[in-house]
Chain A
Amino acid sequence: IAWSTIPLAIFVGIFVWGARVYATLYQPADGAMKVFVVGKQWMWRVEHANGRREIDELHLPVDEPVRIVIATEDVIHSFYIPAFRVKQDAVPGRYTALTVTPTRVGTYELHCSEYCGTDHARMGGHVIVMPKDEFAQWLDQGAPEGGMAAHGKETFERLGCSGCHDPRATVHAPDLAGLYGRVVHLQDGRSVTADEAYIRDAILLPRKDVVAGYEPIMPSYQGQATEGDLLELIAYLKVVAPGDAMGQRTGTQSP
């Protein structure tokens, strides 16, 4: 019996330790800066909150908690930074996330560690951890006016959303300004709060939750709006305040 209880005790000890570290990895740290990463056969696309984009590279400031939000356009990938000892799968149709705090300046390897097809081995790049001020400088270069939401605005026009959702449009569609966080009443009597998941579904699956008082005429953007587009659209819809005319002005703060 001793021979089985002793290992058991050891095992439970190791388990508890492992589980605690694991949980902190997935807990969102308050006020962490956000970075959006989208995997696509076979590259990583990165977009910072202020709209600065990069491919196969990720610049981060040192000593600052970062929440990395991960999505994928196609198959499952896995975002892996061996030097940080972290990885997280990118799952189609969802967002996953990691919270990390880089502690040392330097350049580290970035890999895709979930098998994703032909060039799985070549999908990767580098993570560059910079001192804070350098990072701030870097971040400002090449960032569009208005941040990630500005990209979102472009996308909003490019995909023709404004054709219906602009208040001046003739189509009867809801005004999206200030939508984020609002309670929406649906056709079937339910009420939901408009969060990211709701907006995402509204774009991809407009029939799922039809807003009360409107015809279900909105087309699905499944297959048209990429994950990157979606991230930007959501960022955009989060900042347009009531009273802002859609398609004219964008907020200046980052999402």
Chain B
Amino acid sequence: MTQPAARAYWITWVMLLALLVLTFALAHVRLGNLNAAVSLAIGAMKALLVALVFMKLRRASTLLAVFAVAGLLALAILFGLSGADYATRATTPAPWTSP
């Protein structure tokens, strides 16, 4: 397989470390509920960078890309449908109702 230039790797690495510093810094700032969202988003960005550049998904065949994404899809189903249970359990009528 043809290899991307080393420079792309170094740039990615710098970006990754920059994101690391950013997320660490932001975690010290009070953002309320946003904190969790921000750190998750930055995590996802880092993961994406690693996957696209280091793992070469950017130039991989569609086949590989499909398999790379398939797991996320299956996880989405697992989280989504079991989440559906947890999210609606509270709204089902309480087993006891007040006298």
Contacts and interface: CB of A to CB of B under 8 A. Distances in A.
Interface stretch (B9-17, B36-44, B56-64, B87-95): B87-95
Interface string B73-99: 000000000000000000011111111
Contacts, number: 28
A26 B92 contact: yes
A184 to B, nearest CB: 16
Contacts of A254: 99
Interface residues of B, number: 8
Interface string A175-209: 00000010000000000000111000000000000
A125 interface: no
A90 B97 CA distance: 18
B95 A97 contact: yes
27 contacts: A26-B92, A26-B93, A27-B93, A28-B93, A28-B94, A28-B95, A28-B97, A34-B96, A67-B97, A69-B95, A70-B95, A94-B95, A95-B95, A95-B96, A96-B95, A97-B95, A97-B96, A181-B98, A195-B94, A195-B98, A196-B94, A196-B96, A197-B94, A238-B99, A253-B99, A254-B99, A255-B99
A132 to B, nearest CB: 20
Contacts of A253: 99
Interface of A: 26-28, 34, 67, 69-70, 94-97, 181, 195-197, 238, 253-255
A78 B97 CA distance: 21
Among B92, B94, B96, find the residue whose CB has the most chain A CB atoms closer than 10 A. Answer: B96
B30 to A, nearest CB: 15
The 10 closest A-B pairs by CB, nearest first: A97-B95, A95-B95, A28-B97, A28-B93, A196-B96, A69-B95, A255-B99, A96-B95, A69-B96, A27-B93
A87 to B, nearest CB: 15
Contacts of B98: 181, 195
B93 to A, nearest CB: 5
A238 to B, nearest CB: 7
A19 B3 CA distance: 57
Given A94-B95, A95-B96, A253-B99, 18 more contacts: A26-B92, A26-B93, A27-B93, A28-B95, A34-B96, A67-B97, A69-B96, A70-B95, A97-B95, A97-B96, A181-B98, A195-B94, A195-B98, A196-B96, A197-B94, A238-B99, A254-B99, A255-B99
Nearest to A231: B96
A247 B82 CA distance: 44
Contacts of B96: 34, 69, 95, 97, 196
A195 B99 CA distance: 12
A23 to B, nearest CB: 10
